[in-house]
């Protein structure tokens, strides 16, 4: 009897595993849409609860939450994307026509380096600037052409993009409306101790909210300030470079300095000392300070993850699955640390219980 029961249970678990894997393959084409629909629903869940408490109508509250999400998240991103398409296309045209020579920029940067750094470059045959400029210009043209082609394909609003946005907003509505019920069903189905489930779900929710809201807030502020600074010193395509700085700011310990640093060196080496020194000063004491002040407050304080763990998990996640990895990477790292922390607590609790339950011996001190 027990053998048949165990066989049926094992068969059921295998069936459950098979249909779960099959479902993952089915929704794989819309993984990004489903992921960001769930993330946005999680972020807007406090808004939904506030609206439900006042309107007493979940559907109406979910519609208002969806409208708010579209107004403050989706539409601004679409406007920025449209502007970026124009600037990328313009930059590609400059590189192709030869009016923008990346090699000249590299030449100015190298000449501004200390003699020791120039000697190091000479050891690796990187001081032959004539040929190097040609390679850099050709490489920049190819990269710009690739980016412009991809950006134009997105700008033309393909069917896949429209369907993905529709799926994301559709999922957002139902997840933000029924999020608490779905969370309860998932929590009840997880075969873990109740305390462990509560701890892991709380950690998962905290990491997602802190990673998305905190990192995006820091990246947006740094990218905006960096773009404004480049516009003030007269750099063309300031919005494009500001967006690049925003993306780089998602990576702790890397940051926007990879953009404004070389630009400041170029300005100083080309004779614009005031602009170059001003940009470097602004980058170090304003843009850099924002990263050091806001990121621990908005991200590290909630996730309680060291910066090096966030950096490695973010880079690893993005290298494996693209832009979605900047959320999934730190999430997996946080769950990994939480699981080991729960194991450590259980072992400590068991040792403490065993020490209390063990009988006293003659060598034991009196209690």
Q: Which residue has the higher pLDDT, 153 or 324?
A: 324
**Are residue 256 and residue 170 in the same domain, yes or no?**
no
Shared domain for 36 and 158, answered yes or no, is yes
pLDDT in tens, 113-164: 556 666 655 665 555 544 455 555 555 555 555 555 555 554 455 667 778 8
Q: Residue 367 pLDDT > 60, yes or no?
A: no
Q: 33: which 2 tokens?
A: 């849409």
Is residue 221 in a domain?
yes
Query: Among 59-63, 165-169, 205-209, where is mean pLDDT lowest?
Result: 205-209
Asked if 168 and 201 sit in the same domain, the reply is no
Choose one of 151, 180, 209: the last residue of a domain.
180
Could you tell me the residue range of the domain that residue 234 belongs to? 193-346
Inform me whether the pLDDT recorded for 103 exceeds 70. no
If asked whether residues 208 and 309 sit together in one domain, one would say: yes
197 shares a domain with 176 = no
Alpha-carbon gap, residue 63 to 174, rounded angstroms: 10
The pLDDT tens digits of the residues spanning 249-292 come to 776 656 777 788 888 887 887 778 888 888 888 888 888 787 67
pLDDT at 30: 86
Residue 319 is predicted with a pLDDT of: 79
Q: Which positions ≥6 away from 227 have C-beta within 8 Å?
A: 238, 239, 241, 242, 243, 245
In a domain, 201, yes or no: yes
Do 198 and 342 sit in the same domain of this protein?
yes
Looking at the fold, whether 140 and 241 belong to one and the same domain comes out as: no
For position 303, what pLDDT does the model report? Answer: 59
Single out the residue in 119, 150, 180 at which a domain terminates: 180
Does residue 362 fall inside a structural domain? no
What is the reported pLDDT for 24?
Answer: 85
- Are both 97 and 53 inside the same structural domain? yes
pLDDT of residue 63: 93
Task: Look at residue 361 and tell me if it is in a domain.
Answer: no
Backbone angles phi, psi at 254, to 5 degrees: -110, -70
Average pLDDT, the chain: 75
Residue 13 lies in a domain: no
> How crowded is residue 16: how many other Cβ atoms within 10 Å of its Cβ?
10
Residues 139 and 218 placed together within one structural domain of the fold:
no
CA distances from 39 to 67, 171, 327 (A): 16, 10, 9
Indicate whether 294 belongs to any domain.
yes
Is 24 domain-assigned? no
Residues 48-90 have pLDDT tens digits of 999 999 988 889 999 999 999 899 888 877 777 777 667 667 6
235-251, pLDDT tens digit by residue?
A: 877 777 888 888 777 76
**226 within 8 A of 260, measured Cβ to Cβ:** yes
In a domain? residue 12: no
pLDDT attached to residue 351: 76
Rounded to a whole number, what is the distance in angstroms from the first to the last CA of the chain? 51
Residue 259 and residue 341 in one domain:
yes
Q: What is the pLDDT of residue 113?
A: 58
Report percent pLDDT > 70 for the chain: 70
* Number of domains comprising the chain: 2
**pLDDT value at position 129?**
46
Give the residue from 180, 206, 227 where a domain finishes: 180
In the structure, what pLDDT confidence band is assigned to residue 295 with cuts at 50, 70 and 90? low
Work out the average pLDDT over 9-22: 87
Same domain as 149, residue 215: no
Q: Which residues contact 222 (CB under 8 A, 6 or more apart)?
A: 245, 246, 249, 255, 256, 287, 290, 291
Cα(270)–Cα(338) distance, integer angstroms: 52
Q: In terms of domains, do 45 and 83 share one?
A: yes
């Amino acid at each position: 009897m027990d053998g048949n029961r165990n066989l049926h249970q094992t068969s059921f678990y295998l069936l459950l595993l098979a249909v779960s894997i099959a479902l993952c393959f089915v929704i794989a084409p819309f993984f990004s849409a489903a992921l960001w629909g769930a993330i946005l629903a999680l972020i807007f869940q406090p808004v939904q609860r506030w609206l439900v408490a006042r309107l007493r109508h979940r559907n109406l509250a979910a519609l208002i939450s969806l409208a708010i999400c579209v107004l403050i998240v989706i539409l601004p991103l679409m406007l920025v994307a449209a502007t970026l398409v124009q600037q990328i296309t313009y930059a590609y045209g400059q590189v192709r026509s030869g009016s923008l020579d990346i090699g000249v920029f590299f030449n100015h940067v190298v000449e501004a380096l200390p003699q020791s750094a120039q000697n190091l470059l000479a050891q690796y045959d990187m001081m032959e600037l004539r040929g190097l400029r040609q390679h850099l210009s050709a490489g920049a043209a190819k990269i710009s052409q690739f980016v412009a082609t991809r950006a134009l394909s997105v700008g033309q609003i393909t069917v896949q993009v429209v369907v993905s946005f529709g799926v994301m907003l559709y999922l957002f509505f139902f997840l933000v409306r029924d999020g608490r019920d779905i969370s309860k069903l998932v929590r009840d189905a997880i075969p873990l101790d109740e305390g462990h489930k509560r701890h892991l779900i709380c950690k998962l929710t905290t990491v997602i909210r802190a990673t998305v809201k905190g990192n995006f807030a820091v990246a947006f502020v740094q990218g905006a300030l960096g773009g404004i600074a480049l516009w003030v010193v007269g750099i063309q395509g300031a919005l494009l470079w500001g967006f690049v700085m925003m993306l780089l700011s998602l990576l702790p310990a890397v940051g926007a300095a990879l953009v404004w640093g070389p630009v400041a060196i170029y300005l100083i080496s080309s004779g614009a000392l005031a602009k170059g020194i001003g940009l470097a000063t602004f980058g170090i004491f304003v843009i850099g300070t924002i990263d050091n002040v806001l990121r621990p407050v908005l991200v590290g304080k909630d996730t309680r993850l060291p910066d090096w763990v966030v950096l490695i998990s973010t880079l690893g996640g993005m290298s494996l699955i693209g832009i979605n990895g900047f959320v999934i990477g730190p999430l997996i790292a946080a769950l990994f640390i939480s699981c080991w922390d729960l194991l450590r607590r259980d072992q400590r609790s068991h040792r403490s219980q065993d020490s209390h339950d063990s009988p006293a011996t003659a060598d034991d001190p009196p209690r």
